[in-house]
C-alpha cells in the first residue's frame, strides 16, 4: 500500500488532489489546520469515492513545533502500517497575507508556511521517503519568475510587500526542490514543483485585508477548477521510472526562472537549516 502525505488537503488544490490520488488507490494522509474542515473534507472524499483510504491529521504548520509534532505522528503511523515507507509528500499548504505577521518563532507567515514548513516536514519524513525511493512535490507557481531572493532580508521585514513575499516563497519552493535533487538523487529521491496555473480557490480570501480580498475575488473567476492541476500531481506520483524534470505544468515540463541555480539553492538550504535547527545531507556529485 503506497502512502502519500498531502499538506493543506482540507480545501482547494490539496483536496482535489487527495481525491484523485485515492481513486488511483493510494493511501492518503491529509494535513489541515481546522478540525471542522478536515472532517468535511474527509466526508466529501468518501462520498465521491467510498473505497478511499484517507485520514486527516491536524496541525497548524505555521509553527515549527506543530510541524515536528505531526511529523512524529506520521512516522509512527508509517512504521506501524507501511513498513516505514512513504511514497510521496506533497507540500501544498500555502497562504497569502496582506500584512507582515509572524509565527510563534517570530518568522513571517508566507515564508514560514509556503517554504519553511515543507522544508522541515520533508526533513523529518526523509528516512521514510528514502526507504521508498519516494518523491517530494511542491505546489509552486509561475509567480516564482521575475524576482530574486532578498538574501539580507528574506522575511521582508522592511517594507513588507505581500505580493513580493508570496513570489519569493514560491521561488524558495523551486530552490528547495533543486537542492533536494542535488543532495538525494543518489538515494532515489525525486523532487518536483507543480505549477497549478490560475486556480479558482479561496486562498486570497482567507486572512487577508480588503484590498487583497477584492483583487483575488475578481481574479479567481478566471481560474480553472482544482481538479485540473490535480492530474499533474497524479502524473508525477504514478510515472515509473520517475521523470527527470523539475518544474511541471499540465503533466509537461516547463521552463523555470534563471534564478533557480545550485548556488542559490545551497544558500537557501544553509539559511533554512539554521532557521529550523536542522541539517540536511551534503550535495552529492552523480
Cα angle for residues 52, 58, 62 (degrees, 5° grid) = 130
Task: Determine how β-strand 53-58 pairs with β-strand 27-32.
Answer: parallel
Asked whether position 211 contacts another protein by CB under 8 A, the answer is yes
Half-sphere exposure of 153 (CA within 13 A, CB side): 9
Give min distance, CB of 62 to ligand NAP, in A. 4
Q: Which of 123, 166, 248, 256 is catalytic?
A: 166
Q: Confirm or reject binding of residue 223 to ligand NAP (CB under 6 A).
A: yes
Strands 27-32 and 88-91: unpaired
Give how many residues touch ligand NAP by CB under 6 A.
Answer: 30
Binding positions for another protein, 214-273, rule CB under 8 A: none
Task: Produce one character per residue of 206-221: b if its CB has 16 or more CB atoms within 10 Å, e if not.
Answer: eebeeebbeebeeebe
Query: Is position 166 annotated as part of the catalytic site?
Result: yes
Residues in binding contact with another protein, number by CB under 8 A = 25
Interacting partner of 107 out of ligand NAP, another protein, none (Cβ under 5 to 8 A depending on kind): another protein
Q: Is 285 exposed, middle or buried (0-12, 13-18, 19+ CB in 10 A)?
A: exposed
Query: Which residues in the 89-118 window bind another protein by CB under 8 A?
Result: 98-107
75 is an interface residue for ligand NAP by CB under 6 A:
no
Which residue of 25, 127, 146, 209 would you call a contact of another protein, by CB under 8 A? 209
From residue 9, how far is each of 5, 13, 34, 257 by CA, in Å? 9, 8, 11, 28
Contact 59, 106 (CB under 8 A): no
3-class SS at 146?
A: coil
231 touches ligand NAP by CB under 6 A: no
Stretch that binds another protein, among 38-46, 62-70, 71-79, 230-238 (CB under 8 A): 62-70
Please state the separation of Cα 188 from the chain's center in Å: 20
- 110 Cβ contact partners less than 8 Å away, ≥ 6 residues apart: 95, 96, 97, 162, 165, 166, 169
> Of ligand NAP, another protein, none, which one does residue 74 interact with (CB within 5 to 8 Å by kind)?
none
Nearer to ligand NAP, 62 or 137 (CB): 62
Residue 212 interacting with ligand NAP (CB under 6 A): no
Q: Considering only residues 109-148, where is the footprint of ligand NAP by CB under 6 A?
A: 113-114, 139, 141
Active site residues: 166
Contact set with ligand NAP (CB under 6 A) = 8-14, 32-34, 37, 60-62, 92-95, 113-114, 139, 141, 196, 198-199, 201-203, 206, 223
Amino acid at each position: 500500500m503506497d502512502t502519500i502525505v498531502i499538506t493543506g488537503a482540507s480545501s482547494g488544490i490539496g483536496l482535489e488532489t487527495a481525491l484523485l490520488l485515492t481513486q488511483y488507490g493510494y493511501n492518503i494522509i491529509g494535513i489541515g489546520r481546522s478540525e471542522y474542515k478536515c472532517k468535511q473534507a474527509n466526508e466529501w472524499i468518501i462520498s465521491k469515492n467510498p473505497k478511499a483510504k484517507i485520514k486527516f491529521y491536524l496541525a497548524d504548520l505555521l509553527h515549527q513545533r506543530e510541524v515536528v509534532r505531526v511529523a512524529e505522528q506520521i512516522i509512527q503511523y508509517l512504521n506501524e502500517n507501511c513498513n516505514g515507507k512513504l511514497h510521496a509528500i506533497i507540500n501544498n499548504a500555502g497562504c497569502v497575507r496582506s500584512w507582515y505577521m509572524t509565527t510563534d518563532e517570530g518568522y513571517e507567515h508566507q515564508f514560514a508556511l509556503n517554504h519553511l514548513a515543507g522544508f522541515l516536514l520533508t526533513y523529518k519524513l526523509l528516512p521514510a521517503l528514502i526507504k521508498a525511493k519516494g518523491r517530494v512535490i511542491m505546489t509552486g507557481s509561475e509567480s516564482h519568475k521575475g524576482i530574486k531572493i532578498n538574501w539580507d532580508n528574506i522575511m521582508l521585514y522592511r517594507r513588507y510587500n505581500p505580493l513580493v513575499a508570496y513570489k519569493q516563497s514560491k521561488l524558495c519552493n523551486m530552490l528547495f526542490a533543486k537542492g533536494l535533487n542535488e543532495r538525494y538523487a543518489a538515494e532515489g529521491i525525486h523532487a518536483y514543483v507543480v505549477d497549478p496555473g490560475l486556480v479558482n480557490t479561496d486562498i486570497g480570501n482567507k486572512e487577508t485585508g480588503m484590498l487583497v480580498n477584492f483583487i483575488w475575488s475578481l481574479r479567481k473567476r478566471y481560474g480553472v477548477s482544482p481538479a485540473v492541476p490535480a492530474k499533474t500531481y497524479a502524473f508525477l506520483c504514478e510515472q515509473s521510472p520517475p521523470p527527470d524534470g523539475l518544474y511541471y505544468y499540465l503533466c509537461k515540463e516547463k521552463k523555470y526562472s534563471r534564478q533557480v541555480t545550485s548556488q542559490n539553492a545551497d544558500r537557501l538550504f544553509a539559511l533554512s537549516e539554521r532557521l529550523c535547527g536542522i541539517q540536511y545531507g551534503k550535495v552529492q556529485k552523480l
